[in-house]
């Protein structure tokens, strides 16, 4: 069994894209849960209204975390903005200071 010296191994860049396993299904599931929560509030559960609104903040935080992670993974502001339907500048202004 041979050993390869790391100093002799060329540095290969990390691939930007990881294998996506069920993101579409997972997002659809999350949307169904949020809509179901809204229907529950609509049937008279006024106490849960504040919790429903808090989900909006949680989603904003999750998007920010995702953008930060994508930037660390090597995606550009232009690539992120394109996926979100906004300009590179808008994406960078919104999430660049984190």
Specify whether the backbone of 22 is left (phi greater than 0), alpha (psi in -120 to 50) or beta.
Answer: left
- 11-48 pLDDT, tens digit each: 655 666 666 667 888 999 999 999 999 999 999 999 99
Would you list the domain boundaries of the chain?
A: 23-95
Q: What angle do CA 88, 84, 81 make, to 5 degrees?
A: 15
What b/e sequence results for 13-44 when a residue is b if at least 16 CB atoms lie within 10 Å of its CB, and e otherwise?
Answer: eeeeeeeeeeeeeeeeeeeeeeeeeeeebeee
- 45-74 pLDDT, tens digit each: 999 999 999 999 999 999 999 999 999 999
pTM over 0.85, yes/no: no
């Amino acid at each position: 069994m041979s050993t390869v010296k790391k100093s002799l191994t060329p540095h290969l860049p990390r691939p930007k894209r990881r294998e996506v396993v069920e993101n579409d299904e997972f997002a659809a599931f999350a949307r169904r849960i949020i809509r179901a929560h809204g229907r529950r509030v609509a049937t008279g559960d006024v106490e849960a209204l504040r919790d429903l609104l808090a989900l909006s903040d949680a989603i904003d935080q999750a998007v920010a975390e995702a953008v930060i992670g994508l930037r660390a993974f090597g995606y550009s502001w232009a690539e992120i903005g394109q996926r979100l339907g906004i300009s590179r500048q808008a994406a960078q202004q919104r999430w660049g200071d984190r």
